[in-house]
Amino acid sequence: MSAPAPSSGPVDPADRLAGLLPSAAVSTAYGVLTADVPREQWVTSVSAVRDDPVLDGRFFDCLVVVDQSPGGFQVVVRLWSVVRRRAVHLRTECPREAPVVPSLVGVFAGASWHERQGEEMFGVVFEGAPDRRPLLLPDGGVVHPLRKEHRLAARSALPWPGAQDPAYSGEGGRPPRRRLQPPGAAPEGGSR
């Protein structure tokens, strides 16, 4: 993709992004510039924003997967311009039946960890990713736990950690003298 011809005077980033990615739907909300790009143009669109001297999205901030149940998944990448101090978000979608998106590791090496996490937690496959090993979950664990159709275990079946003193077994032992609080919580009835 070629960059639009420079003009005299300041360039509106939204206009620049729309000219750079003609097949994208460009919007601005809460001060963040966002482009919805077709999945087939995912890698070329991210590369174009990275290489553009006006948008200057050379810093890969993060890549996240959003479950748009029941429709599919949305993959969002946030690119940051250190010089201009502004972000550009690029989004693409993939259907639930075929959750495949091209990998960005060839554009940003740091995308590898984010893509591995997205594949493990949501089941979105990043095609062409060089490293697809599991990242966070143990072998034989829950499959794709962040999908909306995944049901969480009831608290009675799997007690919340820290709900009771581990020293108190409940069988002939003494209950704790004070209620346990999470680390960093203010003491009851007072301030820190």
pLDDT greater than 90 at residue 16 = yes
The separation between CA 2 and the C-alpha centre of its own chain, rounded to angstroms, equals 28
Q: Classify the C-alpha dihedral 67-68-71-72 as positive or negative.
A: negative
Confidence of residue 108 (pLDDT cuts 50, 70, 90): very high
In a domain, 156, yes or no: no
pLDDT higher than 50, residue 76: yes
CA 115 from chain centre, in angstroms, equals: 9
- Does pLDDT of 165 surpass 80? no
What local confidence, expressed as pLDDT, does residue 156 receive? 41
Residue at 129 is within a domain: no
Q: Is residue 25 part of a domain?
A: yes
Q: What pTM did the predictor assign?
A: 0.74
Q: Walk across the sheet containing 72-81 and list its strands.
A: 25-29, 32-36, 86-95, 72-81, 59-68
- Tens-place pLDDT, residues 20-35: 999 999 999 998 999 9
Q: Is residue 5 part of a domain?
A: no
Total structural domains in the chain?
1
Structure tokens at 92: 């693409």
Parent domain of 70 = 13-97
Q: Would you call 45 exposed, middle or buried from its count of C-beta atoms within 10 A (0-12, 13-18, 19+)? A: buried
Confidence band, pLDDT 50/70/90 cuts, at residue 152: low
Q: Does the residue 182 lie in any domain? A: no
When pLDDT is cut at 50, 70 and 90, the band that residue 190 belongs to is low
DSSP-based three-state secondary structure for 48: helix
For residue 50, give the CATH number of its domain.
3.30.460.80
For residue 112 the two structure tokens come to 């590898």
Percentage of the chain exceeding pLDDT 90: 59
Is the pLDDT reported for residue 109 higher than 80? yes
Token pair belonging to 109:
């090496």
Q: With respect to residue 71, please indicate whether it lies within any of the assigned structural domains.
A: yes
Q: Is the pLDDT of residue 187 over 50?
A: yes
Determine, yes or no, domain membership for 171: no
- Note the pLDDT tens digit of each residue in 117-128: 999 999 999 999
Range in 37-46, 122-131, 156-165 the model is least confident about = 156-165
Return d(Cα 97, Cα 69) in angstroms, integer: 12
Is residue 145 included in any domain, yes or no? no
